[in-house]
Amino acid sequence: MNARREDTIKVINEELANARLSRQNGNRGRTRVCARRAAGWAVGWYVESNRLAETHANALEHLRWLETYPPAGDDVREAATRLVTKLDPDGNPAFEQDPIEDARLIIQELLGLDLGPL
């Protein structure tokens, strides 16, 4: 495993830990943000290491790119869509799916990591 991949995995694990802690504390917004950032790091690494496109500035842009990347598969693209969809005016997500699980799906698919249950 190269140093860049190891560094990326470290940051992803930190973001996922923050997402889990935020979920335990009842902070749904922060849970979503951390899950989105974790997935964004995975997409950024994947794009860069496979030289698929220019890397983007942030997790949202990475995930928006993934939404339109057919080789990722429907389930992965749908997870990306859920992570970038804005909350409704009351601060509720448009989807019931767990953002941490969406991030896990993306990370496992793009990095080939078995994260187990989160």
Cα-Cα end-to-end distance for the chain? 23
**Which single residue is written with the structure tokens 């970038």?**
84
User: How many other β-carbons are positioned within 10 Å of the β-carbon of residue 98?
Assistant: 17
- Between 20 and 90, the more confident residue is 20
Q: Specify the fold of 3-111.
A: Four Helix Bundle (Hemerythrin (Met), subunit A) (1.20.120)
Give the C-alpha separation, 11 to 91, whole Å: 27
Domain ranges within the chain, ordered by starting residue:
3-111
Q: What residues contact 28, with CB distance under 8 A and at least 6 apart? A: 22, 91, 93
What is the model's pLDDT at position 47? 92
**What are the tens digits of pLDDT across the range 49-96?**
888 877 667 899 999 999 999 999 999 999 999 999 987 777 777 778
User: How many other β-carbons are positioned within 10 Å of the β-carbon of residue 96?
Assistant: 6
pLDDT of 1 over the 60 cut = no
What is the model's pLDDT at position 95? 78
